[in-house]
Each structure stands twice: as structure tokens, then as C-alpha cells.
Amino acid sequence: MLQTECFTNSNTGLFRFFCMPVQPLARCHGLYSVTMTALGKIAPAQAITLGRRVLEIEARAVVKLSERLDDSFVRALEMVLGCRGRVVVSGIGKSGHIARKIASTLASTGTPAFFVHPAEASHGDLGMVTRDDVMIALSNSGESAELLVIVPLIKRQGARLIAITGNPRSTLAAEADVHLDANVAEEACPLGLAPTASTTAALALGDALAVALLEARGFGEDDFARSHPGGSLGRRLLTHVSDVMRTAEAIPCVSDDASLFEAVLEMSKKGMGMTAIAQRGDRLVGIFTDGDLRRTLDKLADLRKQGVRDVMTLSPRTIRPNQLAVEAVQLMEEYKITQLLVVDTDMRLVGALNMHDLMRAKVI
């Protein structure tokens, strides 16, 4: 597309008019004035090669890191386990993003931790750190000015310091009680400038520390669920039958001397595809389901003349209210049923639930 551009030289008063091709803005890429392909200046095959190179460099960095792991890692683990306060994780720039993730992982796996921005710490947030805490400071160079400003103050009040750096001879490494070496041979960035392999190594080292602490504390699935109540694991491990079962008037139930017609009416009214059969008020003796009804209709013509006691299923599958809801799912799947009656230790009927109740509670 050809467009005209006009320029005026205000100093000479000369007016220059000429025509020049101008690329449409949609075909320009960023600050470049040349036309770009869908992948800019890189071909698809080159993109795959470059991607593999980055992944290989970062993978090698983590492998080399595992080979260098030594007693410093054990001392860091012991320091955190002996901490009477919390773990404070800090870093600036890309190291700050990694520090946030490490703090989050520690907190969710049984080690109370939080992130403090080093620049904000210099303006009041340092008050969050107490003498009972342990600080984990991340800096690839080990010379981040924002961290070095607060380190003396942290140590002066008695908190312990673990440094994760890529330079064992750095100022931060020298000031630390324990130094964890996260040095990498090269960054994955072709310019050797953007933190890539170094941040991957620091993140992996933080994960290694968190998992070792998890094991040392005996942190299990139930503990994990308590810190993740909003997740699927939390719902599965923390939801009990009593939380989802139907109770009181919502339970379909007739006495064992009721007619089959009364049982069918109760099933229809409560909409659970079954009714419990109880004697002496609430003691469970059987169940009558949609399947029982279909089998009975093949043999009987008049439901009013037949007692439910003669066609019910004895000893139905039951569950206790204090059991996990996920156990109810397992029972339903094992016996290929869609309802369960809930009883106490004396076989008194206290609730009922079906597959839809468990689905609504997002247990399944």
C-alpha cells in the first residue's frame, strides 16, 4: 500500500513532498518497522530448537545443583525445624517472584512462612520479622542492595539467615548463617542476561527444602487438606458424611408394618429412589428401592394388599455419619448402588444420601 508523507523544514522554509511506502501498523511488530511473520524473525523449526535448548540448559542446571547438595542443606533444614517463629522469605526482582513461590510452598506444606519485599522492609515491613524467625534471602549475585541493607538489622535482632545465591563469595553468602549454592554454568537466555536457569535452580532448591521439611514433620494428606480446604483434595479429605447427608424429615422412611403402597408414596415424596424401613421408631431393618419396586411389579398387581416387609431388602449397605464422604463414594462404586443409609452404632437411622448429594458437595 502506497501512502504519501509530507515534511516541512521550519528552518529553511523549504517544503519537501515525496512518496514513500509505509507498512500498515497491523503488520509491524513492536518497535520494528519491518514486516514480521507470525513468529517474528524465527522459523518454526528454529523455535522448537531454541525451546529445547532452553529446557536442556535449565535441566542441566538442576541436575548439577543436586550433585552439589551438601551438609549446608542439612543445616538449613535443622535451622528451619528448630525455628520457634516463622520463615520469612525475601528477594528482589525475579528472585523476589521465586521467593514468593517458595514462601507459598512452605506455608502449604506445614512450615509457617510469608514473603517480605526487601524494599518495603526498609520502610517499616521489617517489623514483621522477630528474633524467633528464620529468613531465607534469595539473590543470584548475592549483592542485591535492597537485601544487604536489611540483613544487618535482621541479624541484630536475633533472627537467623539462610542465603540462596549463585555466588558463594558474595556479601550475602558471607553474612548468612547457612549458604545454599544455587550457581549455574549459564543462563538459558541467549544474551546471558535474563534470569532463567538461575531462577529455575533457586526454585528447585526451595522446593527441595520444603519437601524435606514436609517429610521431617510427618506432614500427611490430612494436614495438606487442612491448608487447602478450597481444593478438591480438601473437599475429599475433610468432608464427612454428616456434612452432606439428608436428615430429619428429608429422610425417606416408613415403618416395617407399612403397606407397599405407602412405601412407594414415601419414595415418590422424598425423591431419593428408595425408602428406609425401620421398626420401633428408628431402628433400621431394611431398604426398599426402585429396583425392588420393578421386581415386585412383575409379580403383584395390587400394591395396597402387600406389606413392604415382605419385599424389602434386608441388611442394606450403611455408613456412619463420622466417616468421610469419600468412603461413601467408594462403597457406592464397590457395590454399584446410588444410595446409602446412615446409621449410628445402635443401627438407628440418622441420615440418608445418594450420589447427587455427593456431587453437589463436589466430593466427586
**What are the tens digits of pLDDT across the range 33-60?**
444 456 677 888 888 999 999 999 999 9
Q: What is the reported pLDDT for 9?
A: 47
**Would you say residue 38 lies in a domain?**
no
CB atoms under 10 Å from CB of 309, counted, come to 19
Residues 6+ apart with CB under 8 A from 281: none
Specify the CATH number for the domain of residue 144: 3.40.50.10490
Instruction: Work out how many domains the chain is built from and give that number.
Output: 3
Query: pLDDT-based confidence at 1, cuts 50/70/90?
Result: very low
Q: Are residues 26 and 88 in the same domain?
A: no
**Would you say residue 41 lies in a domain?**
no
Task: For the chain, give the number of residues.
Answer: 364
Q: Are residues 20 and 101 in the same domain?
A: no
**What mean pLDDT is predicted for residues 195-202?**
95
Residue with cell 428408628: 282
pLDDT at 150 over 80: yes
**Would you say residue 39 lies in a domain?**
no
Q: Are residues 18 and 99 in the same domain?
A: no
Q: What rounded mean pLDDT belongs to the chain?
A: 84
Q: Are residues 140 and 200 in the same domain?
A: yes
The type of residue at 57 is I
**Would you say residue 319 lies in a domain?**
yes
The type of residue at 339 is Q
**What mean pLDDT is predicted for residues 62-74?**
95
Q: Are residues 246 and 346 in the same domain?
A: yes
Q: Cell numbers at residue 346, please?
A: 445402635
**Would you say residue 309 lies in a domain?**
yes
Q: Are residues 148 and 86 in the same domain?
A: yes
**Would you say residue 25 lies in a domain?**
yes
**Would you say residue 339 lies in a domain?**
yes
Per the structure, the complete domain to which residue 18 belongs is given by 2-33
Q: Are residues 210 and 63 in the same domain?
A: yes
Burial 148-161 (b: 16+ CB within 10 A, else e): bebbeebeeeebbb
Q: Are residues 195 and 329 in the same domain?
A: no
pLDDT at 13 over 50: no
Q: Are residues 51 and 28 in the same domain?
A: no
**What are the tens digits of pLDDT across the range 16-31?**
433 444 344 334 444 4
Query: pLDDT-based confidence at 7, cuts 50/70/90?
Result: very low
Q: Are residues 77 and 178 in the same domain?
A: yes
Query: pLDDT-based confidence at 163, cuts 50/70/90?
Result: very high
Alpha-carbon distance of 238 to 232, in angstroms, equals 10
Q: Are residues 128 and 211 in the same domain?
A: yes
Of 155, 187, 219, the one marking the end of a domain is 219
Specify the CATH number for the domain of residue 294: 3.10.580.10
> CA distances (Å), 16 to each of 4, 12, 65, 214, in order?
11, 11, 64, 74
Q: Are residues 17 and 129 in the same domain?
A: no
- CA-wise closest residue to 352 among 322, 323, 329, 318: 318
Q: What's the predicted TM-score (pTM) here?
A: 0.62
325: which DSSP letter? H
